[in-house]
Amino acid sequence: MRLFTALATTTTLLTAPAFAQAMEADVANGESEFARQCVSCHVIADESGEVLAGRAGRIGPNLHGVIGRQPGAVEDFRYSDAIVAYGELAPADDKTGAAPQGDDFDTVVWGKDNTIAYLEDPTAFLRDALDDPRARSKMAYKVRDAQAAVDIQAYLATFSPDFELPGAAMEGDAAMEDEAMDEEAGSAN
């Protein structure tokens, strides 16, 4: 039974990024899901300390700028050894293959696929990423709905202005692009 459970978990985590990519992200729903599922432990506060989302939860780390940030890297937060070890990996060493890849990254950073997989099952994700059956996350909560995890990740990305994920256009981006094109066309005449 343990072997079946381990195989099922591994298969789920390895295929989760493919399913996540197929789902369209809804930032507005991500905001609602964040308010419903995340605020008791997390806050999104900018550099000045202004709370942008959440209720000043301090059990988990501040999630401002989390997308594009190295896991386990918020100062003065006591992470599990596993999340720190994950954050110290080179992207190619992430056994799940979910971390953003490229020459720009010396270490793993939170991106679309690894954030979604982590939200769905933090401990199972770390066990697979590190290939360590003893790895544990301090985050016990699991986002049980795959679409909600996709939406929460997209919402978190709106608070990470210095990092853009491929295919992560925010609501209103298309309208702003259309408006800019209209202005360019008008000035060309």
Residue whose entry in the numeric block shows the structure tokens 């209720």 = 55
Best mean pLDDT range from 36-40, 92-96, 101-105, 106-110:
36-40
Q: Looking at the DSSP assignment, which residues form a beta bridge with residue 53?
A: 44
CA distance linking residue 185 with residue 42, whole number of Å: 45
Which ranges constitute the DSSP H helices of the chain?
2-22, 27-37, 81-87, 112-120, 122-130, 146-157, 173-188
pLDDT in tens, 24-53: 889 999 999 999 999 999 999 888 888 999
Q: Which helix (H) or strand (E) holds 54?
A: strand 51-54
pTM here is: 0.73
CA distance linking residue 175 with residue 157, whole number of Å: 19
CA distance linking residue 183 with residue 134, whole number of Å: 57
Residue 34 token pair: 């964040």
Residue whose entry in the numeric block shows the structure tokens 């609501």 = 171
State the amino acid at position 51 in one-letter form: V
Q: Which helix (H) or strand (E) holds 45?
A: strand 43-45
Residue 94 token pair: 């992430």
Contact 77, 61 (CB under 8 A): yes
CA distance linking residue 18 with residue 33, whole number of Å: 22
Mean pLDDT over 96-105 rounds to 72
Q: Mind listing the domains of the chain with CATH numbers?
A: 2-188 (1.10.760.10)
Residue 178 token pair: 């259309």
What pLDDT, on a 0 to 100 scale, did the predictor assign at position 102?
Answer: 66
Q: How far is CA 146 from CA 7, 78, 111, in A?
A: 19, 28, 16
Checking if the pLDDT of 152 tops 80, the result is yes
Residue 64 token pair: 């401002």
> Higher model confidence: residue 3 or residue 117?
117
